Structure 1
Amino acid sequence: MRNCPDLFEADEAQDLPPRSALYRLEPADAGTALHESLLSYLHRLAARHCLRVRDLMTEFVLPRTGICEVSCGHRFSTDYAKTINGFGKYAIEVSAALNALTGRDDLQRCTFIPWRDLLDPKGGGLLEHSMRWCPSCLAQNIDRSEPCVYPLLWSCRSVSHCPVHASALVNECLRCGRLQRVLSDSNAYGRCWACSGSLGARTGLWEESEPTPRQLFDADAVSKMIATGAVAPEFATIGRFSQNLQQLCELHGCKSGAEFARRLHMDFDTMRDWLARGMRPTLTSFLEVAFRLNLDPVHLLSEPPSTSPPSLRTGATPRTRKFHRLSREDMDRLMAEMAASLDVSDRYLDATDLAGKFGTSVAYIRYQCGDLYRAFAAHRTEVMADLSRKRLDALLHQTESVVRALVTQNTVPTRRGIYRALEAEGITMKDPRIRKKAFETAAAIRQTARPADLKTTSSAAQPLGTIG
């Protein structure tokens, strides 16, 4: 036995990796365009530990962060969990907590954190509001009996098609039409949380339209951005973006940023913000300028412009802002109609309907009309309040009539009887004012009527008790 080597020698023990609280699960498709998102990784990690994903989040992950599960009436698991795929505060804290729990150091690549020094700090236009997926990709995972993986690419709002199958991403269950919850145990198995239907089902394959060149460009561009996430912090900065844009402006022979913006059919102020003020672009704007320059976004940042100017994208139409200006004649007619509505005491004119009639917006009417719009809005509020009072008075009068009608039937006005009688007339007792009126009327009747004159219709009749 003494000749046997010691399996626990000090030099061998030092080579063992440190113990982690959770499995050291590797992100799926790491380093590729289909790199797994942090939300998907959280679901797969919970499935490996046989835990509910919400329990894993609230019991293990959130205690290691400064995030509260319930704050100001909002729950993180239902209202804010979708933001952990971005690059904000929640994404940084949750990814760091998962790194500590799993013993990994690369889970930030499951988010857009590597691109946070380039993009708008508010994350405008970055993430889709609801979960999206490619049914063909999920169908492959389901056929192989594997946990379904949701790439980071699918959570990006600028991406509308899957780069693998060139099919449109969907966000509703085909069977019940429900949006999918961000944290749901059924997501890891490609099932709908509401009806348990397969999320890999698809109809209308032959009728589906082909993606446009712009949609293909966005999917390919974001795929390359995600694939280069490890080295992105080296060049994905607003300084590099501004510097390369300035050099491209000079290569195209533009004397100013305004001329360069005109050549690209872009807004002048936006281009000045990027070149002179150092403001970060949103992902949508960044992809837009890369598309018009006919350059790959990663190539636009990682390499200096070549000596020959790149050809601008042909057929790139400018994204114009819709203006709501009205002619002098239309403005006079609109103001006359608003002034005439002020003389009607029992009816009001809705501002949205008025704006739609003249082809403008409520904001434009509010800005142009000034005092007249304020009087118009005050009249609308007054008429609505008056109509609401009249409607309530009518309901209260009808409630009293219904309760008194029970007495004419020689019936004790019990709670259950009152509820059924009002429900038959289409009146709900959820309104506390209706409920108070019904109970006050019933109590007054019971106090004034003789006990022999009233009888209950059911042995299970519930006494009225305390009014309130």
Structure 2
Amino acid sequence: MESRHNTSNSSALFALPPIQGGGNATESLLSYLVRLARAHQIDARRLVRYSVWPALPLDGAGLAISFYREDARTVNGIGRYAHAFTQALERLTSVQGLEGLTFQAWKGVIPEIGAGFLAKEVRWCPTCLAEQRHQRVDSHFPLVWSLDAYQVCTRHHRPLQHLCPWCGKRQQLIPHYPDQARCTHCCGYLAPASSMQTQETIQETDLRRAHSLESMIATPEDKIMPTQPQLMAILQTAAERWTEGEKKKLSRILGLGDRAISGWANKQQKPAFPQLLQIADRLDMTLHQLFTQSLPDRAPSSSSPDQIKTRPRPAAQLSKATLESLLRQQLETSNSAEPVSRILKRIGVTRSYAKYWFPELLAQLTYKHQLSRQQATAERQIEDVERVARVFRNIADGGSYPSIRQMSQALRPYRLSLQREPLREEYNKLRESIRNTELSRP
């Protein structure tokens, strides 16, 4: 499982060999960091704070608690923390090639800031962890587990887990105890012995997608570094082969919308990671094959340019003048103040289309709805205060003192509580009036 790596004779930290091999065999850089702490028998966060963080090539960046809660997950990604931690750990351990424990090889085609790439929580395959323990190897988390779209383990055909089987809590990105196989809250083992026998049914589509994601993590010999221009060249070839050069039709074939590919080409933008993954899925190729193999001669069989039927855009169904007339009619209707979203849904246009042409009308409709809600809230509050007064008098007329407990019981069926300030003020006022009446009696 261990690939070739270079070490020098001296280093500040142990020259711990990384676990590599491509696919789901390669561990993540965070996993390597925790194993390094275990090798030194220290708290993983102490290793980060006192050894790794001071060595990071970052300008004026102090270690904040938010790093452990959120930013630590990007150490496995393509951004500045992935680059900085790779450099620091290579310098501290004298082990080279640690960028292979991250997705930095794909930074040329994946945007650094974007949704749907890295998972926001720690996930694992219990059977994989149980096997590691059974084989007496260091507990480690494969890099592919940190991808948001990676949902199932391809070795054991079971979904990844994200909650401790003992305490039901999520795991910290960088734990204190230097063993990722232990819960960061109760220290229970995340893979009970029963994990070895568990069998679950998963979808074939989930398996294919998981294999596609694993292909991103190649061995050092097969590593690729795709770029945005390379992706555009692939899509241009596909357009010329299948749609006579029309990128709009190709976008539809790939399920990306009408202007996705043209937008990437014109603005030199990178597609969001879920879009890149969808392209490979529709072409029935892995992400690695998308950049290393030739495209098929025929378009995806699920749809062809002639077979594609898309819903007409709302703008084509409704003219600008008609839309303006309907919006003004809704604005002038005195007995109606619906939410803008409901109005546009009934009319049959999107908010972006209506806002582009008539932003002032939409603002007025929004303001009208807000006023209506405020008025309704005020009216309900008056009714609730009157309800408190009636309940108070009913209890008093029955010969009982309207205590807070009795009032709360009587108000419960109406879903009212004296914890609300206006209702509490009304109750205090009524209670004071009773006291004054009793004091005024001879």
Question: What is the TM-score with the length of structure 2 in the denominator?
Answer: 0.69
Out of 169, 180, 189, which is 1:188 matched to?
A: 180
> Any idea what the Cα deviations from partners look like across 1:408-440, whole Å, max 9, x if unmatched?
xxxxxxxxxxxx9xx9999899x9x99xx9xxx
1:335–1:272: structure 2 CA closer, same or farther, 3 Å change rule? closer
Out of 60, 68, 71, which is 2:62 matched to?
A: 68
Out of 192, 195, 202, which is 1:209 matched to?
A: 202
Mapped partners of 1:132, 1:316: distance in 2: 33
Task: Work out the percentage of aligned pairs sharing the same amino acid.
Answer: 22
Aligned to 2:364: 375
Q: Identify the range of structure 1 (331-340 vs 140-149) with the bigger mean alpha-carbon deviation.
A: 331-340
Aligned to 2:71: 80
Mapped partners of 2:17, 2:238: distance in 1: 40
1:110 maps onto 2:101 in alignment: yes
> Any idea what the Cα deviations from partners look like across 1:2-34, whole Å, max 9, x if unmatched?
xxxxxxxxxxxxx971232x2211222344542
1:156–1:228: structure 2 CA closer, same or farther, 3 Å change rule? same
1:152–1:358: structure 2 CA closer, same or farther, 3 Å change rule? farther
Mapped partners of 2:361, 2:369: distance in 1: 12
1:230–1:341: structure 2 CA closer, same or farther, 3 Å change rule? farther
1:27 maps onto 2:18 in alignment: yes
1:181–1:19: structure 2 CA closer, same or farther, 3 Å change rule? closer
The 8 Å contact of residues 192 and 199 in structure 1, kept in 2 or not, is answered as no
Mapped partners of 1:381, 1:203: distance in 2: 57
The 8 Å contact of residues 23 and 102 in structure 1, kept in 2 or not, is answered as yes
1:205–1:333: structure 2 CA closer, same or farther, 3 Å change rule? farther
1:261 maps onto 2:250 in alignment: yes
Partner secondary structure for residue 84 of structure 2? helix
How many correspondences in the alignment?
A: 410
Aligned to 2:170: 179
1:188–1:323: structure 2 CA closer, same or farther, 3 Å change rule? farther
By how many angstroms is 1:153 displaced?
0.6
1:310 maps onto 2:296 in alignment: yes
1:273–1:146: structure 2 CA closer, same or farther, 3 Å change rule? same
1:368–1:238: structure 2 CA closer, same or farther, 3 Å change rule? closer
1:198–1:121: structure 2 CA closer, same or farther, 3 Å change rule? closer
> Any idea what the Cα deviations from partners look like across 1:143-171, whole Å, max 9, x if unmatched?
44554311111111232221211222232
1:51 maps onto 2:42 in alignment: yes
Aligned to 2:149: 158
Mapped partners of 1:376, 1:333: distance in 2: 13
Mapped partners of 2:210, 2:303: distance in 1: 19
Mapped partners of 1:428, 1:48: distance in 2: 59
Root-mean-square deviation (CA, aligned residues, Å) is: 5.2
The 8 Å contact of residues 114 and 229 in structure 1, kept in 2 or not, is answered as no
Q: Identify the range of structure 1 (43-52 vs 81-90) with the bigger mean alpha-carbon deviation.
A: 43-52
1:355-374 mapped onto 2 (5 Å cutoff): 370-374=359-363
The 8 Å contact of residues 86 and 123 in structure 1, kept in 2 or not, is answered as no
Mapped partners of 2:108, 2:232: distance in 1: 13
Mapped partners of 2:299, 2:132: distance in 1: 38
The 8 Å contact of residues 257 and 275 in structure 1, kept in 2 or not, is answered as no
Mapped partners of 1:323, 1:310: distance in 2: 30
Aligned to 2:281: 291
The 8 Å contact of residues 213 and 286 in structure 2, kept in 1 or not, is answered as no
Mapped partners of 2:124, 2:309: distance in 1: 31
1:170 maps onto 2:156 in alignment: no
1:198 maps onto 2:187 in alignment: no
Aligned to 1:240: 230
1:49–1:324: structure 2 CA closer, same or farther, 3 Å change rule? farther
By how many angstroms is 1:87 displaced?
0.5
Mapped partners of 2:10, 2:359: distance in 1: 69
> Any idea what the Cα deviations from partners look like across 1:62-113, whole Å, max 9, x if unmatched?
222223223xxx7211121111111011111122111122121211111111
By how many angstroms is 1:122 displaced?
2.8
What code does the residue aligned with 1:198 have? L
The 8 Å contact of residues 26 and 143 in structure 2, kept in 1 or not, is answered as yes
The 8 Å contact of residues 243 and 250 in structure 2, kept in 1 or not, is answered as no
> Any idea what the Cα deviations from partners look like across 1:273-296, whole Å, max 9, x if unmatched?
455654333333333223333444
What code does the residue aligned with 1:270 have? A
Higher relative contact order (CA 8 A, sep 6+): 2
By how many angstroms is 1:342 displaced?
6.3
What code does the residue aligned with 2:154 have? P
1:218–1:253: structure 2 CA closer, same or farther, 3 Å change rule? closer
> Any idea what the Cα deviations from partners look like across 1:122-152, whole Å, max 9, x if unmatched?
3443212222221221222344455431111
Mapped partners of 1:260, 1:349: distance in 2: 38
List alignment gaps of at least 5 residues for structure 2.
1-6, 386-404, 430-442
What code does the residue aligned with 2:109 have? L
1:175–1:18: structure 2 CA closer, same or farther, 3 Å change rule? closer
